């Protein structure tokens, strides 16, 4: 399994070795063997599996919808989060964690009352035409190739691979098969509340609690799988709980300004935890032979 | 697929034929073909997959715990639901839907503050010794053999089979592999809220909303699978929404007082809906060659 044909997009360094050793140890009969039913792997999405800069893919999707909503009803331009988006207020938009209530309101209002199928269609329409603002390729092509290889390798070793996103579950589901070769039931994420009536499901204006972020990730993973992860991958502070609940933790470090983006903001505590707990840090610059 | 070796526990009648035709039609290339990723089958548990009389299996588990709690703190004997259980108040216990708030309080209090692993161990301990009060066998042996055969047949045709129980998700998970040969991630159900701290998950005193009953079943199935079921099986009024959301619906009718229990209570609306909508009704008396 150590040959170059395995994980070809990874540099043959300590991160690649640690991952291969973990897979080898849990699949080889002996004391460290873990039965397939317990091989759960969970990956954060934004910044771990695909590029999250200069803005979250889902933020681009939502902001386009906000612009359309303001066109329909110009009064909206006076209230947040619509105001910031139509005015291009970078200062307001820079720290989305400072504006969670307004953004959650926007997110739920933007697609309230439509069916889950209609939402799925709206997401597919976005992905069919939207292009990453700096990479210049469709958003369906901004996943990290080494991470796709890792997911395939885990699947080949009977791991059940899940995406565990703080973002919208049903947003990721619209492209999980195309981008990640994962079925829809392997996407865990945050969600608006749903209502069932007349044989169909409608998006409501509430938000399912807890959000799939921080400790909520561990709770969601348990709710979905009945287990804690054997392997977890993340990149930000919101992934700390998930990573510490896993037997093997991997933290993607964005340190490659040339091929991607270099930033530690929002990952300071995660990087410190990785050091303290001996998690495997994956440097985009040093460990990824190819990025996309 | 129509030979006697397929679904041997079923009488060769209209219900068996309808199920076999459905499986044949969605797996044969052509207009009716459904790709494996969309083959979701969901089954209610109590009364659909295993015996729910004279009391729910989980009620037996909880009531034993209630008795132990009263021993620890005799004051509890004055309040419901503990009072009814220790006094054997059949009248109070007969209609559990009339006492949902008290019972939910009891359910959450009974195991509040323990880890999910400790709860799992408590459930396993119950199943290791508890015996069905009239059938005289361990509860792990009260699943309907024809339904187990149907689940195996669906799995062999690349269906993803889920249990969708109004009862406790984590209760069923403790025995899903042993009883149903299903992994823990295939159990959907109601749940107490959970808290994550210090690397572990603890049961809290809240109840996750919505309950996995009635319209909540369709919402839970979507949250877990990102789809509506292709095939759904139920037996009671709480299954109506799930059944109407499915392309093929199967309703187990308990009409065999000799080999099991005969009752329509709690299934009156479901039986009427089955008639009105042409769902496949499975008579325990007429369609099951063997019951257990």
Question: What pLDDT is attached to residue A96?
Answer: 75
Structure tokens at B277: 């909508």
Over range A52-78, report the average pLDDT: 93
Q: Which residues of B touch A170 (CB under 8 A)?
A: 226
Give the residue on B whose Cα is nearest the Cα of A184: B226
Contact A116 B191 (CB under 8 A): no
Instruction: Answer whether A283 touches B (CB < 8 Å).
Output: no
What are the tens digits of pLDDT across the range A92-141? 887 777 888 888 888 888 999 999 999 999 999 999 999 999 999 999 99
Q: Does B23 score more than 90 pLDDT?
A: yes
Contact B218 A241 (CB under 8 A): no
Q: Which residues of A touch B197 (CB under 8 A)?
A: 215
User: ipTM for the complex?
Assistant: 0.95
Dihedrals φ, ψ of A201, to 5°? -105, 130
A36 Cβ contact list (under 8 Å, min separation 6)? A158, A159
Contact A201 B222 (CB under 8 A): yes
Contact A222 B116 (CB under 8 A): yes
Give the residue on A whose Cα is nearest the Cα of B169: A223
Look at residue B32 and give its three-state secondary structure. coil
Interface test with B, best of A161, A180, A185 (most B CBs within 10 A): A185
Q: Does A4 score more than 80 pLDDT?
A: no
B112 Cβ contact list (under 8 Å, min separation 6)? B192, B203, B204, B205
What whole-number distance in Å separates Cα of residue B238 and Cα of residue B102? 20
Contact B195 A173 (CB under 8 A): no
> pTM of the entire structure?
0.96
Contact A196 B219 (CB under 8 A): yes
A86 Cβ contact list (under 8 Å, min separation 6)? A66, A67, A70, A77
Q: Which residues of A touch B169 (CB under 8 A)?
A: 223, 226
Contact B37 A224 (CB under 8 A): no
What are the tens digits of pLDDT across the range A159-197? 999 999 999 999 999 999 999 999 999 999 999 999 999
What whole-number distance in Å separates Cα of residue B6 and Cα of residue B153? 8
CB contacts under 8 A, A 17-46 vs B, are 37, 40
């Amino acid at each position: 399994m150590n040959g170059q044909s395995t994980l070809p997009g990874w540099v043959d360094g300590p991160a690649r070795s640690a991952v291969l050793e973990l897979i080898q140890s849990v699949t080889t009969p002996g004391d460290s063997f873990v039965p397939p039913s317990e091989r759960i792997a969970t990956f954060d999405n934004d910044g771990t599996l695909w590029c999250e800069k200069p803005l979250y893919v889902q933020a681009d999707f939502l902001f386009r919808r906000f612009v359309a909503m303001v066109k329909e009803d110009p009064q909206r331009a006076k209230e947040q989060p619509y105001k910031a988006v139509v005015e291009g207020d970078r200062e307001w938009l820079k720290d989305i964690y400072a504006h969670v209530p307004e953004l959650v309101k926007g997110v739920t209002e933007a697609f309230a009352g439509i069916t889950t199928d209609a939402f799925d269609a709206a997401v597919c329409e976005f992905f069919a035409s939207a292009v990453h603002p700096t990479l210049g390729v469709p958003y369906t092509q901004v996943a990290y190739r080494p991470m796709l290889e890792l997911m395939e390798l885990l699947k080949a070793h009977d791991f059940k691979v899940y995406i565990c996103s703080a973002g919208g579950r049903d947003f990721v589901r619209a492209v999980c098969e195309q981008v990640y070769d994962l079925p829809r039931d392997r996407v865990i994420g945050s969600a608006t509340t749903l209502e069932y009536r007349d044989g169909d499901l409608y998006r409501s204006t509430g938000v399912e609690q807890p959000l799939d972020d921080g400790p909520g990730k561990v709770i969601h993973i348990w709710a979905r799988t009945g287990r804690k992860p054997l392997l977890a991958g993340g990149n930000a502070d919101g992934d700390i709980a998930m990573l510490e609940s896993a037997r093997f933790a991997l933290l993607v470090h964005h340190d490659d300004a040339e091929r991607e983006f270099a930033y530690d903001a929002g990952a300071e505590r995660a990087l410190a935890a990785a050091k303290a707990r001996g998690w495997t840090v994956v440097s985009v610059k040093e460990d990824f032979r190819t990025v996309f």
